[in-house]
């Protein structure tokens, strides 16, 4: 046993032996973040550590706060879509569609079945890409980089489909109020078919690599658990709530965009731990594939946009050749279309849970008040409770399994 120097005794260094037969410990403060490779986003957690055990955590957020709710109060409705892109940027199409549907609910437009099915395909592709990122990253944080590098090429394929549909990849701004900007062309169907044919094989291999892997199981089972009761109290929604055993899914509870037409199940977990969250997302990817297959097989014919000339931009050749189309075009772009007064709440099942839009309209060109119910912001509060008493490395993997997206956290 080493004698401590008087200086070491004075400074009360943690972990040093004081010489009185007791290990004197003092809690260490560890800054996890704001920028840290293991946090996958800008989160700061000030951890109080006892050795390697997490005693408590204090979260700070707001590092990428961009005042979307304030900006939205000054923008015409169609320009707010680009703000929603940047909430959960791993599945922007779902946010875009959620916003379009909120406005459609406000102005009372029913869009054609074909457009609803097309939206379902786009949203489910986005859900797959969102869950792929999350599960691949859980793999990275447990030391399996293979799955990540392997699966990211499939996320790339999904982005190529988005690129063909709307011209953008990450922040998609996909669709319009009242439908979609254009019909799926042959190239989109070709890419979709290729994706549906090849992705299941690759994803099955990923599943076989991870799901029954002893090392992965030992690393993730029982880490960061939360009971169903606590999860509900903390406002969990989406895969994280379902991992705790509650079968709540907005697509089933309050179907939108024809989700009631599709046959799919809601996968649920038992313990609400990291392994269950991983498995729920794995199962949801298979369910999403099922939905896309059904939507493609039963794709109705008809138009891909509703008849709402005051919100849906007319085709460009009409704008140049037709006076009425030119007027509508001008009115839409200048934000002159009339909207009814009222307040509306619309929720969609985002990648991480219930993404809600609370919109108050006073009839003006911009919303009077727009509030985003951002699932990440709400369930991230539970993080200290989930990691308390666990190891630091478990805290990291719990964070990635919650799939907290900084853009959605900070709005």
Partner 1 sequence: MAGITNEFLIERLQSQFGDQILATEMPYGMVTIVIQPSAILDMLIWLNTDNLLKFKFLTDICGAHYPDLIDGELSVIYHVQSMENNVRLRIKTFIPITKPEIASVTSLYSSANWMERETYDFYGIIFTGHPNLTRILNVEEMDYFPMRKEYPLEDGTRRDKEDEYFGR
Q: Contact residues for partner 1 (CB under 8 A)? A: 61-62, 65, 67, 69-71, 73-74, 105-106, 230, 232-235, 246, 248, 253-254, 334-336, 342-345, 347, 354, 356, 358, 360, 364-365, 368-369, 371, 373, 377-382, 410-411
Whichever of 191 and 374 has its CB closer to partner 1, that residue is: 374
Whichever of 58 and 198 has its CB closer to partner 1, that residue is: 58
Sheet containing strand 354-361, edge to edge, reads 342-349, 354-361, 369-373
Are the beta carbons of 285 and 307 closer than 8 angstroms? no
Q: Which two tokens stand for residue 100?
A: 């379009």
Whichever of 61 and 283 has its CB closer to partner 1, that residue is: 61
Whichever of 141 and 249 has its CB closer to partner 1, that residue is: 249
Helix (H) or strand (E) holding 373: strand 369-373
Q: What is the closest distance, in whole angstroms, from the C-beta atom of residue 384 to partner 1 in the complex?
A: 11
Q: What is the closest distance, in whole angstroms, from the C-beta atom of residue 33 to partner 1 in the complex?
A: 16
**CA–CA dist 236, 396 (Å, integer):** 19
Give helix 145-166 / helix 113-141 axis angle, nearest 10°: 160
Q: What is the closest distance, in whole angstroms, from the C-beta atom of residue 279 to partner 1 in the complex?
A: 22
Are the beta carbons of 264 and 290 closer than 8 angstroms? yes
Whichever of 300 and 342 has its CB closer to partner 1, that residue is: 342
Cis peptide before 400 (omega within 30 of 0): no
Q: What is the closest distance, in whole angstroms, from the C-beta atom of residue 81 to partner 1 in the complex?
A: 18
The total number of residues shown for the chain amounts to: 411
**CA–CA dist 275, 401 (Å, integer):** 8
**CA–CA dist 277, 20 (Å, integer):** 46
Residue 330, helix vs strand vs coil: helix
Whichever of 119 and 374 has its CB closer to partner 1, that residue is: 374
Q: What is the closest distance, in whole angstroms, from the C-beta atom of residue 244 to partner 1 in the complex?
A: 13
Whichever of 198 and 229 has its CB closer to partner 1, that residue is: 229
Are the beta carbons of 80 and 279 closer than 8 angstroms? no
**CA–CA dist 142, 271 (Å, integer):** 19
N- to C-terminal Cα separation, the chain = 54
Whichever of 190 and 369 has its CB closer to partner 1, that residue is: 369
Are the beta carbons of 33 and 47 closer than 8 angstroms? no
Q: What is the closest distance, in whole angstroms, from the C-beta atom of residue 311 to partner 1 in the complex?
A: 15
Whichever of 65 and 316 has its CB closer to partner 1, that residue is: 65
Q: What is the closest distance, in whole angstroms, from the C-beta atom of residue 232 to partner 1 in the complex?
A: 6
How is 124-137 classified by DSSP, letter by letter? HHHHHHHHHHHHHH
- Which residues, other chains included, contact 356 with Cβ-Cβ below 8 Å and sequence gap of 6+? 345, 346, 347, 372, 373
Q: What is the closest distance, in whole angstroms, from the C-beta atom of residue 177 to partner 1 in the complex?
A: 16
How is 103-126 classified by DSSP, letter by letter? HHHHHT-PPPHHHHHHHHHHHHHH
Whichever of 55 and 221 has its CB closer to partner 1, that residue is: 55
Alpha helices, DSSP H, located in 173-237: 186-210, 214-220, 228-233
**CA–CA dist 67, 83 (Å, integer):** 10
Bridge partners (DSSP) listed for residue 28: 49
């Amino acid at each position: 046993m080493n004698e401590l120097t008087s200086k070491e005794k004075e400074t009360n260094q943690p972990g040093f032996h004081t010489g009185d037969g007791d290990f004197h410990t003092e809690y260490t403060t560890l800054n996890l973040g704001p920028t840290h490779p293991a946090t996958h986003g800008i989160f700061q957690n000030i951890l109080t550590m006892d050795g390697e055990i997490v005693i408590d955590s204090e979260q700070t957020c707001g590092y990428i706060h961009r005042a979307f709710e304030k900006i939205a109060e000054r923008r015409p409705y169609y320009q707010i879509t680009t703000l929603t892109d940047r909430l959960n940027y791993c599945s922007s199409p779902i946010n875009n569609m959620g916003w379009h549907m909120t406005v459609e609910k406000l102005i009372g437009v029913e869009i054609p079945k074909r457009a609803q099915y097309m939206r379902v395909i786009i949203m489910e592709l986005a859900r797959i890409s969102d869950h792929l990122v999350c599960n691949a990253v859980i793999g990275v944080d447990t030391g399996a980089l293979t799955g990540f590098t392997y699966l990211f090429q499939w996320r790339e394929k999904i982005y190529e489909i988005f690129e063909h549909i709307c011209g953008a990849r990450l922040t998609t701004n996909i669709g319009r109020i009242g439908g979609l900007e254009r019909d799926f062309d042959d190239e989109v169907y070709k890419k979709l078919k290729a994706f549906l044919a090849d992705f299941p094989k690759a994803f099955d291999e990923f599943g076989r690599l991870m799901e029954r892997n002893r090392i992965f199981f030992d690393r993730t089972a029982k880490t960061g658990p939360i009971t169903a009761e606590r999860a509900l109290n903390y406002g969990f929604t989406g895969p994280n709530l379902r991992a705790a055993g509650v079968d709540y899914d907005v697509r089933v509870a309050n179907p939108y965009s024809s989700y009631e037409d599709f046959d799919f199940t809601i996968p649920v977990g038992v313990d609400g731990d990291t392994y269950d969250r991983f498995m729920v997302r794995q199962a949801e990817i298979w369910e999403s594939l099922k939905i896309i297959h059904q939507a493609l097989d039963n794709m109705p014919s008809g138009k891909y946009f509703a008849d709402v000339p005051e919100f849906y931009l007319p085709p460009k050749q009409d704008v140049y050749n037709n006076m009425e189309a030119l007027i509508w075009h001008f009115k839409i772009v200048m934000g002159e279309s009339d909207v009814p007064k009222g307040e509306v709440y619309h929720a969609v099942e985002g990648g991480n849970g219930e993404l809600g839009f609370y919109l108050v309209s006073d009839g003006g060109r911009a919303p009077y008040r727009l509030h985003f119910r951002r699932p990440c912001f709400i369930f991230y509060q539970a993080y200290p409770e989930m990691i308390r008493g666990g190891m630091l490395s478990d805290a990291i993997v719990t964070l990635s399994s919650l799939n907290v997206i900084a853009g959605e956290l900070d709005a």
